[in-house]
Structure 1
Amino acid sequence: MARPKTLPDDHYRLSTYKRGSKRYVYGYRNVWDPVRRQSRSAKRFYVGVLNEVTRQVRPCQRFLANHPEYEGKVLYYENHELIEKR
Protein backbone atom coordinates (compact mmCIF):
# COMPACT_ATOMS: atom_id res chain seq x y z
CA MET A 1 0.00 0.00 0.00
CA ALA A 2 1.37 3.42 -0.95
CA ARG A 3 2.08 6.04 1.66
CA PRO A 4 -0.39 8.91 1.76
CA LYS A 5 0.89 12.30 0.66
CA THR A 6 0.89 14.48 3.76
CA LEU A 7 2.72 17.64 2.67
CA PRO A 8 2.15 19.92 -0.34
CA ASP A 9 4.59 19.90 -3.26
CA ASP A 10 6.00 23.32 -2.39
CA HIS A 11 6.88 22.29 1.19
CA TYR A 12 10.56 21.99 2.04
CA ARG A 13 12.63 21.34 5.15
CA LEU A 14 15.72 23.23 6.27
CA SER A 15 19.02 21.98 7.59
CA THR A 16 22.63 23.17 7.92
CA TYR A 17 26.11 21.96 7.09
CA LYS A 18 29.54 23.28 7.96
CA ARG A 19 32.38 23.75 5.50
CA GLY A 20 35.56 25.30 6.79
CA SER A 21 34.68 27.99 9.30
CA LYS A 22 31.22 28.82 7.85
CA ARG A 23 27.85 27.17 8.40
CA TYR A 24 25.38 27.14 5.51
CA VAL A 25 21.61 26.68 5.43
CA TYR A 26 19.98 24.62 2.69
CA GLY A 27 16.46 23.50 1.91
CA TYR A 28 15.42 20.10 0.67
CA ARG A 29 12.40 18.01 -0.20
CA ASN A 30 12.26 14.21 -0.29
CA VAL A 31 9.98 11.83 -2.15
CA TRP A 32 9.18 8.22 -1.47
CA ASP A 33 10.69 5.68 -3.89
CA PRO A 34 8.24 2.73 -3.92
CA VAL A 35 10.67 0.44 -5.76
CA ARG A 36 13.52 0.77 -3.26
CA ARG A 37 11.09 1.47 -0.42
CA GLN A 38 13.06 4.42 0.94
CA SER A 39 13.09 8.18 0.81
CA ARG A 40 15.06 9.93 -1.95
CA SER A 41 16.08 13.55 -2.41
CA ALA A 42 13.78 15.28 -4.91
CA LYS A 43 15.13 18.81 -4.63
CA ARG A 44 17.90 20.54 -2.70
CA PHE A 45 18.75 24.25 -2.80
CA TYR A 46 21.05 26.71 -1.07
CA VAL A 47 19.44 29.28 1.25
CA GLY A 48 22.33 31.28 2.69
CA VAL A 49 25.06 31.69 5.30
CA LEU A 50 24.27 31.25 9.00
CA ASN A 51 25.90 33.35 11.71
CA GLU A 52 26.31 30.75 14.46
CA VAL A 53 26.41 33.28 17.30
CA THR A 54 23.26 35.27 16.47
CA ARG A 55 21.58 32.51 14.36
CA GLN A 56 20.85 35.14 11.67
CA VAL A 57 20.75 33.94 8.06
CA ARG A 58 22.14 36.01 5.20
CA PRO A 59 20.15 34.66 2.21
CA CYS A 60 21.71 34.44 -1.24
CA GLN A 61 20.34 36.30 -4.26
CA ARG A 62 19.07 33.17 -6.03
CA PHE A 63 17.03 32.15 -2.98
CA LEU A 64 15.52 35.64 -2.75
CA ALA A 65 14.69 35.59 -6.46
CA ASN A 66 12.84 32.27 -6.05
CA HIS A 67 11.21 33.26 -2.72
CA PRO A 68 10.39 37.00 -2.87
CA GLU A 69 8.36 36.77 0.35
CA TYR A 70 11.68 36.87 2.27
CA GLU A 71 12.98 39.99 0.49
CA GLY A 72 13.98 42.77 2.91
CA LYS A 73 13.33 40.69 6.05
CA VAL A 74 15.78 39.82 8.81
CA LEU A 75 15.76 36.02 8.99
CA TYR A 76 16.86 33.69 11.76
CA TYR A 77 17.30 29.91 11.73
CA GLU A 78 15.56 28.23 14.67
CA ASN A 79 14.17 24.71 15.02
CA HIS A 80 14.82 23.96 11.32
CA GLU A 81 12.74 26.96 10.20
CA LEU A 82 13.34 30.48 8.93
CA ILE A 83 11.90 32.90 11.47
CA GLU A 84 11.41 36.63 11.02
CA LYS A 85 12.13 38.65 14.17
CA ARG A 86 11.77 42.36 14.74
Structure 2
Amino acid sequence: MSSHMASAMLMFHKRHMRNPSPYSSDRIAFLEHWFVKMWVRDYKKYDPETWEFSETYKKVFNGNYPSEFSNNRKWLKDVDQLFFAT
Protein backbone atom coordinates (compact mmCIF):
# COMPACT_ATOMS: atom_id res chain seq x y z
CA MET A 1 0.00 0.00 0.00
CA SER A 2 1.27 3.46 -0.78
CA SER A 3 2.05 5.98 1.90
CA HIS A 4 -0.85 8.02 0.49
CA MET A 5 -3.36 5.31 1.36
CA ALA A 6 -1.82 4.79 4.80
CA SER A 7 -2.09 8.54 5.41
CA ALA A 8 -5.71 8.58 4.21
CA MET A 9 -6.68 5.73 6.54
CA LEU A 10 -5.02 7.53 9.44
CA MET A 11 -6.94 10.69 8.55
CA PHE A 12 -10.26 8.76 8.46
CA HIS A 13 -9.42 7.22 11.82
CA LYS A 14 -8.64 10.62 13.37
CA ARG A 15 -11.84 12.13 11.98
CA HIS A 16 -13.84 9.26 13.44
CA MET A 17 -12.39 10.01 16.89
CA ARG A 18 -13.79 13.57 16.82
CA ASN A 19 -16.85 14.47 18.79
CA PRO A 20 -19.12 14.78 16.93
CA SER A 21 -17.89 12.34 14.30
CA PRO A 22 -18.49 13.30 10.66
CA TYR A 23 -19.57 9.72 9.89
CA SER A 24 -23.19 8.63 10.06
CA SER A 25 -22.46 5.53 12.14
CA ASP A 26 -20.55 5.12 15.37
CA ARG A 27 -20.27 1.37 14.72
CA ILE A 28 -17.27 1.52 12.37
CA ALA A 29 -13.52 1.19 12.81
CA PHE A 30 -10.64 2.20 10.58
CA LEU A 31 -7.65 -0.13 10.74
CA GLU A 32 -4.13 1.14 10.42
CA HIS A 33 -1.80 -0.26 7.78
CA TRP A 34 0.64 -1.85 10.26
CA PHE A 35 -2.20 -3.84 11.85
CA VAL A 36 -3.56 -5.10 8.51
CA LYS A 37 -0.04 -6.21 7.50
CA MET A 38 0.36 -8.05 10.80
CA TRP A 39 -3.06 -9.70 10.41
CA VAL A 40 -2.25 -10.91 6.87
CA ARG A 41 1.19 -12.18 7.94
CA ASP A 42 -0.24 -14.07 10.92
CA TYR A 43 -3.13 -15.51 8.92
CA LYS A 44 -0.64 -17.26 6.64
CA LYS A 45 0.63 -19.14 9.72
CA TYR A 46 -2.85 -19.78 11.17
CA ASP A 47 -3.52 -23.20 12.69
CA PRO A 48 -6.92 -23.44 14.47
CA GLU A 49 -5.56 -26.01 16.89
CA THR A 50 -2.64 -23.96 18.17
CA TRP A 51 -3.60 -20.34 17.50
CA GLU A 52 -3.73 -17.90 20.40
CA PHE A 53 -4.49 -14.21 20.07
CA SER A 54 -1.61 -11.99 21.11
CA GLU A 55 -2.12 -9.18 23.60
CA THR A 56 -1.85 -6.69 20.72
CA TYR A 57 -4.74 -8.38 18.89
CA LYS A 58 -6.84 -8.40 22.05
CA LYS A 59 -6.19 -4.70 22.63
CA VAL A 60 -7.06 -3.78 19.02
CA PHE A 61 -10.24 -5.92 19.06
CA ASN A 62 -11.30 -4.23 22.30
CA GLY A 63 -10.64 -0.71 21.01
CA ASN A 64 -7.64 -0.09 23.26
CA TYR A 65 -4.70 0.02 20.87
CA PRO A 66 -2.93 2.11 19.79
CA SER A 67 -3.46 4.20 22.90
CA GLU A 68 -3.93 7.50 21.02
CA PHE A 69 -7.03 5.98 19.38
CA SER A 70 -8.38 4.13 22.40
CA ASN A 71 -12.20 4.22 22.45
CA ASN A 72 -13.15 0.93 24.21
CA ARG A 73 -15.44 -0.07 21.33
CA LYS A 74 -15.27 -3.85 20.98
CA TRP A 75 -15.49 -5.53 17.59
CA LEU A 76 -18.70 -7.53 17.08
CA LYS A 77 -20.32 -5.88 20.11
CA ASP A 78 -19.84 -2.16 19.37
CA VAL A 79 -18.34 -2.25 15.85
CA ASP A 80 -20.11 -3.74 12.82
CA GLN A 81 -17.86 -2.59 9.98
CA LEU A 82 -14.08 -2.52 9.58
CA PHE A 83 -12.44 -0.34 6.95
CA PHE A 84 -8.90 -0.96 5.78
CA ALA A 85 -6.67 -0.73 2.73
CA THR A 86 -4.17 -3.35 1.65
What's the TM-score once normalised by structure 2's chain length? 0.28
Higher helix share: 2
Question: Between Structure 1 and Structure 2, which shows a larger proportion of strand residues?
Answer: 1
Higher relative contact order (CA 8 A, sep 6+): 2
Larger Rg: 1
